[in-house]
Structure 1
């Protein structure tokens, strides 16, 4: 592929046009470029001079790509263009959906976790049958859940903004709800604290529910990795 064709392909890629359209267009201009070079060579120009003349006749690849992109988009119906843009931007769209879900679920989780605390404490004070270590277990598990939800909230915002540096922390934070559940289940077996932990589990971990029931820790990190790699590939 000539230097002109390579630059044209790169410029068209920046417009996020369909790969099939880019390949077809670049091939057509590559053929046209070669014909111009052959004609110039037949007139006695050297290969280098012929390529320069052909490139000058075709114009700047970036301006040509801008013109082709405008023409292509103008030929598309509005709905087809919207769908095409969504498909082309599926990497960015995936990151925004993951980030938005993480932020909204974490915000709701924090709200429910802390809004139910007065009621939990009131019921604990009214009932004398609550396990002895209920309050320490409740506050400890609520604190851990709060930290996890805060991490998911902050990293969700960064994933929504497509920040690659947030991927590692986001992945760890996404897995923590599952880890928390397994560790809590194991703690139920404790002879001395098992009953207290079991009694405090539901009210202290309800904020993690939206992440667990949707299996967010299993698919979200993988989807984020794929989307970030796609965005990186398109930008290169």
Structure 2
């Protein structure tokens, strides 16, 4: 990197770092779920393909961090404990819980990163959109879960409750990260200027508090809307 060129902001480093570790952790957990919980070899292969895609995304993010002159391990390190704790708290008990986690749980976590990227420069937004693309995961999981619910409608209540638990854990994790990483939180609640340029953000770095409560409310409304969309796609009732 040219020494005269400005480096990335700490908020952008945090965004790429947390997303890189999230993708690496997702790869490891999905691979484990495929090996231990998949009922057939075809299912194992399908979920393995999803895991491999997550690892590919991790490599893209790792290479971008390196290209920006940032040590990827240092960028990821602040988020290891939090993401590992989320996975430990949401360890699936069976194949269907693993599928719902792969779609709903990982999905809402990705929504946080998309929200932060909305206020980054276009190259970062494009990168985040690329690594969070979930078409293959969506098609695979939706097909399997819908077939299971058709065969046994009694699964609906249990899986809906499981999805709600994961979302609650993900939202709590996001709040904790916002408290300890104010530069990342500033991206989440930044406000846009009238001309569409990036705003300055609404985080008080001194106290880590969120200053624009209205924008926080809009953020959580968008996250809730996306969660509801995924639940409907699976054939589950969002509020059940």
| Structure 2 length-normalised TM | 0.32
* Bigger proportion of residues as helix: 1
| Structure possessing the higher radius of gyration over alpha carbons | 1
